Amino acid sequence: MKTRSKTKTPASSKTQPPKYIFVVGGVISGVGKGIAASSIGTLLKARGHNVTAIKIDPYVNVDAGTMNPTEHGEVFVLDDGDECDQDMGNYERFLGTTLSRTNYMTTGRVYQTVIEKERNFEYKGKCVQVCLHIPLEVIARIKKAQKSAQADVVIIEIGGTVGDYENILFLEAARMLKIENPNDVAFVMVSYLPVPSKVGEMKTKPTQHAVRNLNETGIQPDVILARSNTSLDEKRKEKLALFCNVRADRIISAPDIESIYDVPTNFERDNLGNILQEVLGLQDKHASTLRAWKTFFDTAKKYTKEVHIAVVGKYFDTGDFVLSDSYISVIESLKYASYGRKVKPVLHWLNAKEFEVYDKKKLSVLKKYDGVLVPGGFGSQGVEGKINVIRYVRENKIPFFGICYGMQLAVIEYARNVLKLIGAHTREVDPQTTYPVIDILPEQKEKLAKKEYGNSMRLGAYKAVLKQGSLAERAYKTREISERHRHRYEVNPLFVETLASKDLQFTGTSPDGTLMEIIELPKEVHPFFVACQFHPEFKSQPFSPHPLFTAFIAHALKKKAAL
């Protein structure tokens, strides 16, 4: 028999059970549930809790990779290659963390696993049912994410709106988790309160109905975040409290504000951090550090010196909303890099279609900007315009930063106009080109032939090495990097030697030297002409702006100073 150890009970046996906060939407979607969930995480993280976040998208797509960014917003990519909702980017940026595919689920993904398990006889002959086995799988995933992050608190955002047919099973999972752990689960409803123009006052009725809808699923919200264009007054707070069974002090006013980074501070002003701790029986692990967050973003608001950056893309004709949603990570990365240099970024969205012919007069508008960025993209639309823009900024020494497609098009431009490989192209646009300087990755060829579009790109984090003395190395201050990818095509290895025969340099490659990851022109030729095959915007965070964005902004400021 083993003798009993005399050591004290390990601290872990005394620690809190994990806590779960579900964030659900009432009345309409698109009122900032993702930012609300991220901000709740920020408040709890500031108090010392280890926080992780999960996004649930109720659609049947297995991941966001097959969705059009103009309809659904940016496709965000994680280190492990998961293609997911842009809210995952918000979580990573607000929480300063790195998430994995366990933190993202869709109806399609959950069903896929349950069906696979059934086929593998893992249910041991049982009848596999929508209601029980699907919510159980959802709960298993939530617990897995908690475990792998060793999280004290898991925030789970359920996409869509309460009452939607499609999120019912996720709400059922939430209810079941609450039954199992009554003291460890909290529900926050982010609801919308309209102010009809003819009436002129905020209406609480839709929210009352939304709460009843939620009640029908067996869930009672602990907190209501009242989203509206103005603040909530006492009268409406009391009304909501009375008709929704939520304490008045737990109804938080969440008016529209200019910067998403003010949301945590606003919530804190209404005591949300303490309220959630009270609901979940948590205590501060240390004094809140939220002040540092507030100071950082308040200071940034006061920067008056501007840096003007033109972003050239193709999705721009659908309005501002689409713009900011399709390029959210690029936009935020430009902000962080600018704040790092104590300047205010001013972004100008240029439609590539405007530059389809090489008209120097028209292109001279680019001289107005301190830097030009060509972000990622797919397909043939706007390609010639982007190539013309790249040629103009190369010839006129305007700081240029290309990302993914932006790098591929920079290579094509250089091949055509400097190396005179007339008609050089990417096979993505011109499969018959004589000079396929950009070609499909060999492993992707087969997938495309079989129409396997899902998960069919080079996805996620890969290591790369940087050339000594390069601009890239100076920016990163290291020679080994890891960056996130999302592309099907690459610089054709057969052309690397030709492409590098003049000034263009490949200063970042895969460790085995086969894949070209970064191009640049030497500083004697161009002050800043850098492009990368990966997506640096997916790893940029407020307090650690990405080195390439920082270098780009620094050179843009140099151009500005020289004027």
Of 133, 485, 526, 535, which is the active-site residue? 535
Nearer to ligand GLN, 255 or 379 (CB): 379
In whole angstroms, what is the distance from residue 429 CA to residue 496 CA? 20
DSSP, residue by residue, 41-68: HHHHHHTT--EEEEEEE-SSSSSGGGS-
Binding-site string for ligand GLN from residue 473 to residue 502, where x marks contact by CB under 6 A and - marks none: -------------xxxx-------------
**Residue 321: both structure tokens together:** 């909303």
Q: Least distance from C-beta 387 to ligand GLN, angstroms?
A: 14
CB 115 within 8 A of CB 107: no
CB of 535 to ligand GLN, least distance (A): 7
Cα separation, 237 vs 247, whole angstroms: 9
Sign of the four-CA dihedral 380, 385, 387, 389: negative
Q: What separation, in Å, do the N-terminal and C-terminal C-alpha atoms of the chain show?
A: 83
Distance CA 286, CA 440 (A): 52
Does 49 qualify as catalytic in the annotation? Answer: no
CA distance linking residue 138 with residue 106, whole number of Å: 10
Given 20, 405, 414, 462, the residue binding ligand GLN (CB under 6 A) = 405
Using CB under 6 A, which of 79, 152, 428, 483 touches ligand GLN?
428
Looking at the Cβ atoms of 104 and 405, the one nearer to ligand GLN is: 405
373 — phi, psi (to 5°)?
-120, 130
- Other Cβ atoms less than 10 A from the Cβ of 465: the count is 18
Residue 404 is a catalytic residue: yes
Whole-number minimum distance, CB 498 to ligand GLN, in Å?
20
Q: Are 203 and 196 in contact (CB under 8 A)?
A: yes
Q: Which of 137, 517, 520, 537 is catalytic?
A: 537
404 near ligand GLN, rule: CB under 6 A: yes
Could you give the CA distance from residue 325 to residue 420 in angstroms, rounded to a whole number? 38
Q: Which is nearer to ligand GLN, 366 or 404 (CB)?
A: 404
SS (H, E, C) 159-228: CCCCCCHHHHHHHHHHHHHHHHCCCCEEEEEEEECCCCCCCCCCCCHHHHHHHHHHHHCCCCCCEEEEEE
Among 404, 428, 473, 487, the active-site one is 404
Respond yes or no: is residue 535 known to be catalytic: yes
CB of 340 to ligand GLN, least distance (A): 25
Judged by CB under 6 A, the residue of 32, 65, 371, 377 near ligand GLN is 377
* Interface size with ligand GLN, residues (CB under 6 A): 11
Region binding ligand GLN by CB under 6 A among candidate stretches 180-188, 325-333, 402-410, 496-504: 402-410
Work out whether 429 is an interface residue with ligand GLN (CB under 6 A). no
Q: How far is Cα of residue 20 from the mean position of the Cα atoms in its chain? A: 22
The residue (of 406 and 542) whose beta carbon lies closer to ligand GLN is: 406
Smallest distance from ligand GLN to CB 489, Å = 3
**Using rule CB under 6 A, residue 376 touches ligand GLN:** yes
Nearer to ligand GLN, 70 or 113 (CB): 70
Which single residue brings its beta carbon nearest to ligand GLN?
376
Q: How far is the CB of 130 from ligand GLN (least distance, A)?
A: 36
Query: CB under 6 A: which stretch of 222-230, 376-384, 498-506, 543-551 binds ligand GLN?
Result: 376-384
Given strand 436-440, what is the order of strands in its sheet? 425-426, 436-440, 489-491
Q: Which residues bind ligand GLN (CB under 6 A)?
A: 376-378, 404-405, 408, 428, 486-489
Residues identified as active-site = 404, 535, 537
